[in-house]
Structure 1
Amino acid sequence: MPQRNVVKRNVVSWTSMVVAYTRACRLDEACRVFDNMPVKSTVSWTALITGFARNGRCGEALDVFKQMLEDGVRPSALTFVSVLGACAEVALLGRGKQVHGQVIRGGVSGNLFNVYVCNALIDMYGKCGDMRSAENLFEMAPVRDVVTWNTLITVFAQNGHGEDSLAVFRRMIEAKVEPNHVTFLGVLSGCSHAGLDNEGLELVDLMERKYGVKPKADHYALLIDLLGRKNRLKEAMSLIEKVPNEIMNHIAVWGAVLGACRVHGKLDLARKAAETLFELEPQNSARYVMLANIYAASGRWGDAKRIRTVMNERCLKKEPAYSWIELRDARHEFVAKDKFHPNIVEICEVNSKLVLHLKDAGYQPYTDYPFLPDHDDGFYFS
């Protein structure tokens, strides 16, 4: 067998091992295999980048891509798709623009791959909030498949432009492109954020009857969220009673009900929704926290403390949220009470000034928080 064929087979085998480890979420082992590869192909690099990105370690995916370029390996279309996806997930617009430039300079062969890369670019710009660039790319796309349309519909919805999302959907239908379940998830989300309740109801009615797309639990959850935002909770509950059991007992559906109860202070229904969720996902602390917040907002401090007691008994802890900012193509994350950031002193000084400016502007901080210890003065919630 020629030596070149042996090397090629070895590269394929090593790359298959990298893929297998990343799919099993064993990324350290995937890296060890990758580092020990005698020869690395573009596919090998792409496999590791994709593995990091799919496992939520987007920063490391971008680091591997940087090393790939430094080693003189030319990326493929699939490499760019994975890298752009990583930029989108952590909203690194500056880095995403750099990758866009590399796509243009390097070129990508094949119309099919061009569609994939174009879709990834639209998604990246949209998730980073640059809707003008996302829309421009869509309009310039030489080929548009259903994913192209779905991507623009979805990013419009994610950025709160529900009417634009609905308008793109209508253009899609006029262009004779068959919508699928992802299409309706995007446009229903857009309707929800824009308060287009009647349009949302009409879409769900037409999904199966006109377009042959059977609504799933996620579609009903979005519709319930939409009705809940408009304080049409009675209609939402009537809808739940009519759907099949596998949808009625779905986490997303009752999560939407609980969220609507939080907005409108519906205590009895909130308790029912929360108890259902406690049975469906007993280890999800966020549901307990939301019910406690609903009680606290209504002045039911005893009930709020009772929920906290239940959480302690079940060894559940509130997962801390975080905020982030992109600076010089790097993403900086911040968690409440975090003191390990290298610039923590400067950050605290700026934060104190911002709080003073907010108070001067009339902002009233919310301190009646059931999960805030008594000694944690100086923490504010909005």
Structure 2
Amino acid sequence: MVRSGVQPDDITFGAVLHACSSLAVLGHGKMVHGCILHYGFHAYVFIGNSLVNTYAKCGDLLQEGSEESRVVFETMGSVYGISPEMDHVACMVDMLGRGGYLAEAKELIDKYSGVGSAQMSLCEALFGAYFAQGNVGVGRNLGESLMILEPHKETSYVLLSNLYCASGQWKEAEMVRKMMVDQGVKKIPGCIWIEVRNKVTAFAAGKHSNPYTNEQCNIISLILK
């Protein structure tokens, strides 16, 4: 487009960022980010959301900027007249919680609390924050509540079990895993992907179909020695 003399607009950049996030190609995403700054589209809310989505899905989360995120969230309504949806609120809850602002995250849930899946998504985000902060006491209560409300969903079982393991409560963790089995709930295997030389390779827990598995194991063994 650029070589043909056609200037990209916000819709163009949004589409390209969506492709970058879907393929988890961080290098390309950063280049597109640079173009966005060059063309002056960085102030567009749609583009900002797409950039956050791209960096998050590429595993390059920002560790700072909580205050800036608060401002962006607040200006959605006060400046742009956009009512935040549950996904926006859940992102804020997760960010505040992981940043250590657990009380503020809880207040946000109380303010935007709804019913059904919307309420559950907010509670799950808060539970993830408690897990990140290692808050066993409150995290346990919230996790047990989620298990009762959604007994056939794996998220609460896995997070609660991991929370117990992280705090050395192995017996409690085993009890949660047993409850998960008794309910017939199965954990979806963890998966991660990485881009090397413009090619995306996926790795799933428990699978050894990757042709470079042996070389990877050998390198890890050398590193651990």
Place the TM-score, normalised by the shorter chain, in its bin: 0.7 to 0.9
Q: Distance in 2 between matches of 1:116 and 1:198?
A: 28
8 Å CA contact retained: 2:42, 2:48:
no
- What amino acid is the match of 2:26? G
**Structure 1 position 300, deviation (Å):** 1.8
**Structure 1 position 114, deviation (Å):** 7.2
Describe the superposition over 1:220-247 as per-residue Cα deviations: whole angstroms up to 9, x where unpaired.
2222223212322223223322334338
Higher relative CO (CA 8 A, sep ≥ 6), structure 1 or 2?
2
Aligned residue in 2 for 1:80: none
Q: Which runs of 5+ in 2 are unaligned?
A: none
**Structure 1 position 117, deviation (Å):** 4.3
Q: Distance in 2 between matches of 1:248 and 1:318?
A: 20
Give runs of aligned pairs for residues 1-382 of structure 1, distance below 5 A: 116-124=11-19, 127-130=24-27, 131-139=29-37, 150-155=46-51, 158-159=54-55, 193-246=62-115, 250-327=119-196, 329-356=198-225
8 Å CA contact retained: 2:25, 2:195:
no
8 Å CA contact retained: 2:18, 2:54:
no
Describe the superposition over 1:24-77 as per-residue Cα deviations: whole angstroms up to 9, x where unpaired.
xxxxxxxxxxxxxxxxxxxxxxxxxxxxxxxxxxxxxxxxxxxxxxxxxxxxxx
Q: Secondary structure at the match of 1:250?
A: helix
- What amino acid is the match of 1:294? L
Q: Distance in 1 between matches of 2:69 and 2:41?
A: 25
8 Å CA contact retained: 1:283, 1:316:
yes
8 Å CA contact retained: 1:122, 1:137:
no
Name the CA shift for 1:273/1:158 in 2 (closer, same or farther; >3 Å): farther
Q: Distance in 1 between matches of 2:173 and 2:83?
A: 39
Q: Distance in 2 between matches of 1:248 and 1:328?
A: 40
**Structure 1 position 253, deviation (Å):** 0.8
Q: Distance in 2 between matches of 1:149 and 1:198?
A: 17
Q: Distance in 2 between matches of 1:201 and 1:145?
A: 17
Equivalent residues, number: 219
Q: Distance in 1 between matches of 2:74 and 2:108?
A: 12
Name the CA shift for 1:136/1:235 in 2 (closer, same or farther; >3 Å): closer
- What amino acid is the match of 1:239? L
**Structure 1 position 307, deviation (Å):** 0.2
8 Å CA contact retained: 1:207, 1:213:
yes
Percent identity between matched residues is: 25
**Structure 1 position 249, deviation (Å):** 5.3
Aligned residue in 2 for 1:24: none
Q: Distance in 2 between matches of 1:119 and 1:224?
A: 25
Q: Secondary structure at the match of 1:212?
A: coil
8 Å CA contact retained: 2:139, 2:160:
yes
Structure number with larger C-alpha Rg: 1
Q: Distance in 2 between matches of 1:318 and 1:225?
A: 22
Name the CA shift for 1:139/1:255 in 2 (closer, same or farther; >3 Å): same
Mean Cα deviation higher: 330-339 or 222-231? 330-339
Q: Secondary structure at the match of 2:46?
A: helix
Q: Secondary structure at the match of 1:240?
A: helix
Q: Which runs of 5+ in 1 are unaligned?
A: 1-102, 161-189, 357-382
Q: Distance in 1 between matches of 2:191 and 2:117?
A: 32
| Aligned Cα root-mean-square deviation (Å) | 3.7
Q: Distance in 1 between matches of 2:202 and 2:117?
A: 37
- What amino acid is the match of 2:25? C
Name the CA shift for 1:324/1:312 in 2 (closer, same or farther; >3 Å): same
Q: Secondary structure at the match of 2:78?
A: helix
Q: Secondary structure at the match of 2:192?
A: strand
**Structure 1 position 260, deviation (Å):** 1.2
